[in-house]
């Protein structure tokens, strides 16, 4: 029974970008922008309008991409890609989209050498006709020489042979066995960290590397070294830098162009200026032209190794690109600063020859810089696309385009896409139609709140303010009038061109005694009215009776309740009027029925000449709607706790839309279901199945009415017409904030509100050149995404975690805690706690604070813990009213309420538990507490009551058992679904285990490595409505459940903006289809080095998926290569969260 992981959106960290001609299948080659992202390669072309980019091809690799370079082997007409991943280098073809057809060869780094080697990020070096190489994590450079073909078409033949995938036989090798060299300053010296390496090809026998590296003091050096491709292979296992060839920079530098000007030298950019260094084997000398009076232009360095420097003041360049790298007279460079300023610098030079006619000296004639009009913020990489059009990648905006007018010195932004920000926290509503929120950002000055949900596009038309006060009880449409019933009056409004005006036109027909309960025209056109004093027709009372509840059918026939009975046509039924909460009357064709809801949660269904039916729902009934479709009758019932029930032929379905009383409006083709938290549209087909349901993204009105084919909303003194599109879609809203968003919380009682912990940094008041944290609590309304309240914490107080105080009575007995009263229980469910670090002079302050929120989003601090000097990084709520905090120490606090002083208090009730390093995660699992040491392991503890309590301390920690660690990796994320635990390490590994009292052991036989950095894991709480903890244990023991095919368990978010879901699959259709595809693709899986763990028996060829985490996207790709789409449809149905 597999766990299936699916990508909700791919991470978008950019690794590298370049432009090469690619055959996209149309017979002609197009210049494509090749973008290497975290685990995918994307190919873009420039749109015909030259103002946007078109995504032409996506190549998912399902492996972490460290670097990517174009590769054009001798004899080939099409580019290949060299991609370094994990421990290998892949050679990819761009001809086909299929995962396995594109891999021409896999070059393992650790096959030929002892030890574990990994390629360094952005260290891949390609010289197409001779070799490719990479720097490795052990400080070496590994070089793969090209296996030069005897015939020019050998590479093409090799490509065809590779695609046969006959992995049991030998394949044509495109590369010779690799050689490895240690990069060191001199023989035997410890290797230095290399920041950048590139190759400068000189002739047929030598290749020269240009290397930028730094020492232990982070002083930057640059040097060249030459590799004799024929001699060095056999004679040396180490390369020294060329003698006296290195230079040292006094600041951090980065290369702009490696190499520069047809292998003439290297350009660097530093904080104080630009540098030009010549390549002495090509041009031995560099100087400044005689007569140049530019004071900012100078020659620096040793006499035998000079460098030309163009000095600037505080330029702080973040990225740059050479516009014309092959020009031998003038080089133009675009510079982009950290502040977003863009400069065009122009370097004019002359190459003087010696007496033999060979290049001898680079004479720099002038080096000028011009600032362009316009800005590009947060640019991290820039690539020239065409003429004066450039692609830019920025942290906040992702991939974009800009053009430069060289004459006017003006920059114009043409196109921008949104970048995915780091996901720091995730929350999800427990409603049937969920909303997923992911929060995060870049630096502390950039934050984002992303919300996904299923919904219908809508807009408000002709919304007009009126003189109405809030508090509308009901509304009726009468011709061109609205009759609005309020708390203390009834108002008649007439629509004009601009607004609704109060009128007295209908006073004659509505001059009735008593409080109006319902108004309707009957089939004869008479205006019928029910009041608490009787029934009226055109203002004349036709029946005198004391009415408590009354409604008309759409034909104007009445049903009403008196103090003892309900009257329906010629029938009457006994009823306890004190219990009646709502009344509904359906009359359509031959169908006629009355539904009576009460405060106890029962509904009586009355059909003439048939026994009365009674239905129980457990909570007060707030609304009832009868509806006929396809000749059959369905009842829709809304409860006071936010549930919607549909009943047809005794079959009952339940949906939850929040925690507030539900109202219903029949709109012919669909039903609007709403409460104080949200508005949803439900569409039912002819068989009464709910074919579509989703949110209408408006602020919930006080009342929704449907009349004459229009949907009218009444709220806050305004009346408007609501237009709703027919198409259901996945909608996304992004809210940008000028502050990093660290945490998000959903409230149990107010589903329309979310709490966000945001932070930024301000100049410190205590220390010069330092920054203080400024944290803020913000409550945002989820329908309008507007901030409704904020709470600023004192400067220097950093909020590290936030957690709900949801009341839990499942483990009260283990704590010997008495149950708290209902009022306190209800209040705690709308409270939350935060843990704080105090970056102040004395480092003292309350480590934990508790806040409450009301229905308007107002925040109030209600309790604080005494100052302890302990730093807490994580919180969890436990048992009845315990808070467990972890950091440099772990302890439990109890929340108490004093009736005498009418306030809450926080009191420490355990001794401090000392972790080995520091606690990164604490999680409550029934009676147990999971405590994770970030650098060591995960352990389980119980809290037991002391026989002799010491003052307030009455609980002690009892270690249950050691669980597991992540192989000395940092534990970066952890959560539990009941007692099924999911954790992630700093290497991208995720694994599951049982955290329950029964200790079923590690569930996954092997972990799974995502090509991403997981930041947060959140259990999907709403899935607990589908399965109990006992049923989950049965599934984990592989006993199976007939009524369960799949359960979404966890959401995962990454530092690169990636979002993933993990789903428990029991559907035999999915399991058998997955196994069949894996078995049919065994050779490709083995050859491609699929990282998704799968047990494969080489003798029998059988594959098992039991207990393993299966990559759903990768299996779908395998299926597509076979021409199928079954699993894509199945995964969409079983793994969809919305």
- Would you give the distance in Å from CA 936 to the centre of its chain? 28
- Give yes or no for a contact between 680 and 671, defined as CB atoms under 8 angstroms apart: no
Rounded-to-integer distance, Cα 915 and Cα 886, Å: 9
Rounded-to-integer distance, Cα 670 and Cα 349, Å: 74
Q: Output the six-digit token pair for 605.
A: 């269904």
**Coil, strand or helix: which one is 1022?**
helix
Rounded-to-integer distance, Cα 241 and Cα 785, Å: 59
| Number of other residues whose CB lies within 10 A of the CB of residue 620 | 18
Per-residue model confidence (pLDDT) at position 922: 94
- Give yes or no on whether 467-668 and 796-965 have one common fold: yes
pLDDT means over runs of 10, the chain (1138 residues):
84 89 83 92 91 89 90 80 89 68 77 71 79 80 73 54 43 70 49 69 69 75 72 46 67 75 81 86 88 90 80 82 87 90 93 89 93 89 91 83 92 86 93 94 89 94 81 86 85 81 81 90 88 92 92 89 85 81 88 90 89 92 91 91 91 92 95 96 88 93 92 88 94 93 91 94 81 94 94 94 77 56 75 92 87 94 91 90 92 85 88 89 88 81 83 84 60 89 85 62 56 93 88 78 87 93 90 83 66 53 67 86 85 88
Is the dihedral angle over the CA atoms 100, 103, 107, 110 positive or is it negative?
Answer: negative
Rounded-to-integer distance, Cα 850 and Cα 860, Å: 9
Q: Output the six-digit token pair for 350.
A: 């002359």
- Give yes or no for a contact between 43 and 94, defined as CB atoms under 8 angstroms apart: yes
Q: What is the DSSP string of 874-933?
A: EEEEETTTEEEEEESSEEEEEEEEETTTTEEEEEE-BPPB--SS-EEEEEEETTEEEEEE
**Coil, strand or helix: which one is 499?**
coil
* Third-level CATH fold of 796-965: Methylamine Dehydrogenase; Chain H (2.130.10)
**Coil, strand or helix: which one is 1030?**
helix
Q: Which of 1082, 1083, 1074 is nearest to 1113 (CA)?
A: 1074
Domain locations in the chain as residue ranges: 256-370, 428-466+669-789, 467-668, 796-965, 1066-1135
Rounded-to-integer distance, Cα 252 and Cα 249, Å: 7
Query: Pairing between strand 247-249 and 253-260?
Result: unpaired
- Give yes or no for a contact between 719 and 500, defined as CB atoms under 8 angstroms apart: yes
**Coil, strand or helix: which one is 358?**
coil
- pTM recorded for the entire structure: 0.88
For 524-537, letters b (16+ CB in 10 Å) and e give: eebbbbbbbbbbbb
Q: Output the six-digit token pair for 462.
A: 């002709």
- Give yes or no for a contact between 142 and 210, defined as CB atoms under 8 angstroms apart: no
Rg (CA), the chain: 36
Backbone angles phi, psi at 890, to 5 degrees: -125, 130
Rounded-to-integer distance, Cα 122 and Cα 491, Å: 72
Q: Output the six-digit token pair for 293.
A: 């009076």
Tokens 């299923």 belong to which residue?
Answer: 454
Per-residue model confidence (pLDDT) at position 237: 43
Per-residue model confidence (pLDDT) at position 238: 46
* Third-level CATH fold of 467-668: Methylamine Dehydrogenase; Chain H (2.130.10)
For 235-266, letters b (16+ CB in 10 Å) and e give: eeeebbbeeeebbebeeebebbbbbbbebbbb
| Number of other residues whose CB lies within 10 A of the CB of residue 1101 | 11
State how far the alpha carbon of 23 is from the alpha carbons of 57, 74, 1121, in Å: 11, 18, 20
Tokens 């080095």 belong to which residue?
Answer: 1089
Contacts of 210 (CB under 8 A, 6+ apart): 197, 198, 199, 200, 222, 224, 255, 258, 259, 266, 279
Q: Output the six-digit token pair for 642.
A: 């936010």
Rounded-to-integer distance, Cα 835 and Cα 845, Å: 11
Half-sphere exposure in the Cβ direction for 74 (13 Å, CA): 13
H or E, element range at 774: strand 771-781
For 631-644, letters b (16+ CB in 10 Å) and e give: eebbbbbbbbbbbb
């Amino acid at each position: 029974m597999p766990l299936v992981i699916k990508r909700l959106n791919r991470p978008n960290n950019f690794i590298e970008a370049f432009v090469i001609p690619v055959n996209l299948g149309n017979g002609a080659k197009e210049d494509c922008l090749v973008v290497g992202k975290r685990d995918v390669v994307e190919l873009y072309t420039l749109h015909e309008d030259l103002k946007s980019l078109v995504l032409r091809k996506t190549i998912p690799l399902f492996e972490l991409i460290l670097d990517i370079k174009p590769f054009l082997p001798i004899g080939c007409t099409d580019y290949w890609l060299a991609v370094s991943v994990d421990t290998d280098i892949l050679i990819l073809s761009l001809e086909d989209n299929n995962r396995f057809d594109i891999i021409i060869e896999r070059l393992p780094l650790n096959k030929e050498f002892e030890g574990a080697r990994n390629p360094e990020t952005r260290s891949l070096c390609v010289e197409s006709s001779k070799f490719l190489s990479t720097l490795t994590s052990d400080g070496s450079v590994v070089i793969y020489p090209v296996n030069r073909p005897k015939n020019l078409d050998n590479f093409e033949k090799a490509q065809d042979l590779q695609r046969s995938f006959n992995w049991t036989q030998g394949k044509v090798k495109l590369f010779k066995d690799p050689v490895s060299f240690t990069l060191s300053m001199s023989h035997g010296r410890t290797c230095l960290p290399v920041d950048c390496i590139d190759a400068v090809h000189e002739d047929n026998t030598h290749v020269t590397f240009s290397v930028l590296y730094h020492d232990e003091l982070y002083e930057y050096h640059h040097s060249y070294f030459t590799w004799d491709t024929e001699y060095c292979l056999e004679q040396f296992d180490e390369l020294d830098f060329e003698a006296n060839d290195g230079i040292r920079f006094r600041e951090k530098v980065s290369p702009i162009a490696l190499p520069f000007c047809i292998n003439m030298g290297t350009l660097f950019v530093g904080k104080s200026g630009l540098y030009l260094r010549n390549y002495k084997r090509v041009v031995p000398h560099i100087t400044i032209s005689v007569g140049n009076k530019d004071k900012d232009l100078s020659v620096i360095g040793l006499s035998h190794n000079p460098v030309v420097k163009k000095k600037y003041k505080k330029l702080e360049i973040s990225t740059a690109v050479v516009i014309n790298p092959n020009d031998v007279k003038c080089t133009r460079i675009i510079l982009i600063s950290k502040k977003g300023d863009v400069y065009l610098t122009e370097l004019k030079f002359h190459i003087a020859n010696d007496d033999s006619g060979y290049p001898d000296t680079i004479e720099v004639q002038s080096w000028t810089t011009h600032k362009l009009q316009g800005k590009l913020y947060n640019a991290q990489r820039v690539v020239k696309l065409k003429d004066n059009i450039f692609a830019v990648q920025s942290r906040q905006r992702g991939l974009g385009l800009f053009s430069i007018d060289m004459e006017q010195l003006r920059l114009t932004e043409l196109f921008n896409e949104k970048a995915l920000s780091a996901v720091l926290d995730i929350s999800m509503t427990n409603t049937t139609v969920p909303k997923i929120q992911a929060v995060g950002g870049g630096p502390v000055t950039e934050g984002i709140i992303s919300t996904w949900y299923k919904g219908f596009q809508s807009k408000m038309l002709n919304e007009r303010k009126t003189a109405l006060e809030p508090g509308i009880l009901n509304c009726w449409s009468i011709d061109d009038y609205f009759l609005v019933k309020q708390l203390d009056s009834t108002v008649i409004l007439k629509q004009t061109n601009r607004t609704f005006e109060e009128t007295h036109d209908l006073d004659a027909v509505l001059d009735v005694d008593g409080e109006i309960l319902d108004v309707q025209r009957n089939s004869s056109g008479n205006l019928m009215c029910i009041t608490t004093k009787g029934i009226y027709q055109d203002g004349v009372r036709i029946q005198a009776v004391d009415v408590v509840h009354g409604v008309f059918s759409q034909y104007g026939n009445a049903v009403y309740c008196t103090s003892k009975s309900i009257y329906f046509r010629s029938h009457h039924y006994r009823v306890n009027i004190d219990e009646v909460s709502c009344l509904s009357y359906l009359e359509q064709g031959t169908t006629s029925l009355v539904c009576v809801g009460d405060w106890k949660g029962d509904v009586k269904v009355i059909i003439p000449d048939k026994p009365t039916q009674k239905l129980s729902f457990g909570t007060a009934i707030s609304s009832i709607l009868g509806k006929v479709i396809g000749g059959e009758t369905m009842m829709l019932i809304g409860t006071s706790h936010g549930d919607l029930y549909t009943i047809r032929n005794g079959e009952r379905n339940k949906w939850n839309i929040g925690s507030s009383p539900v109202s219903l409006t029949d709109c012919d083709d669909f039903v609007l279901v709403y409460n104080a938290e949200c508005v949803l549209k439900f569409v039912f087909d002819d068989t009464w199945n709910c074919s579509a349901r989703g949110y209408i993204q408006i602020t919930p009105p006080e009342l929704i009415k449907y009349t004459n084919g229009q949907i009218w909303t009444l709220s806050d003194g305004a009346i408007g017409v609501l237009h709703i599109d027919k198409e259901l879609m996945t909608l996304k809203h992004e809210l940008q904030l000028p502050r990093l968003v660290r945490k998000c919380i959903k409230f149990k009682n107010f589903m329309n509100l979310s709490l966000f912990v945001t932070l930024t940094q301000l100049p410190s008041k205590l220390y010069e050149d330092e920054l203080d944290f400024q944290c803020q609590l913000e409550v945002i309304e989820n329908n309008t995404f507007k901030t409704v309240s904020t709470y600023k914490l004192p400067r220097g107080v950093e909020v590290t975690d936030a957690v709900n105080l949801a009341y839990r009575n499942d483990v009260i007995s283990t704590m010997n805690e008495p149950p708290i009263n209902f009022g306190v229980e209800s209040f705690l469910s709308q409270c939350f706690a935060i843990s704080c670090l105090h970056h102040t002079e004395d480092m003292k302050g309350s480590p934990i604070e508790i806040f409450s929120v009301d229905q308007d989003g107002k925040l109030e601090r209600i309790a604080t813990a005494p100052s302890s000097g302990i730093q807490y990084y994580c919180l969890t709520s436990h048992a009845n009213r315990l808070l467990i905090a972890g950091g440099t120490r772990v302890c439990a606090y109890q929340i108490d309420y004093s009736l005498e002083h009418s306030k809450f208090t926080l009191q420490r009730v355990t001794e401090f538990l000392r972790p080995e390093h520091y606690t990164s995660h604490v999680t409550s699992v029934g009676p147990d507490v999971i405590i994770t040491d970030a650098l060591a392991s995960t352990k389980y503890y119980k809290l037991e009551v002391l026989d002799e309590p010491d003052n307030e301390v009455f609980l002690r920690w009892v270690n249950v058992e050691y669980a597991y660690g992540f192989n000395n990796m940092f534990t970066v994320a952890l959560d539990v679904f009941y007692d099924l635990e999911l954790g992630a390490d700093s290497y991208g590994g995720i694994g599951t285990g049982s955290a329950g009292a029964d200790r079923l052991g590690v569930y996954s036989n092997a972990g799974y490595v995502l090509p991403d950095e997981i930041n947060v894991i959140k259990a999907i709480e709403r899935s607990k409505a589908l399965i109990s903890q006992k049923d989950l244990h049965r599934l984990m023991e592989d006993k199976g459940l007939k009524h369960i095919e799949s359960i979404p368990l966890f959401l995962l978010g990454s530092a690169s903006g990636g979002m993933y879901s993990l789903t428990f699959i029991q559907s035999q259709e999915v399991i058998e289809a997955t196994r069949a595809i894996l078995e049919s693709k065994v050779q490709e899986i083995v050859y491609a080095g699929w990282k998704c763990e799968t047990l494969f028996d080489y003798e029998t060829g059988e594959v098992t998926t039991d207990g393993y985490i299966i990559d759903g996207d990768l299996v779908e790709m395998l299926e597509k290569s076979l021409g199928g789409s079954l699993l894509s449809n199945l995964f969409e149905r079983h793994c969809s969260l919305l």
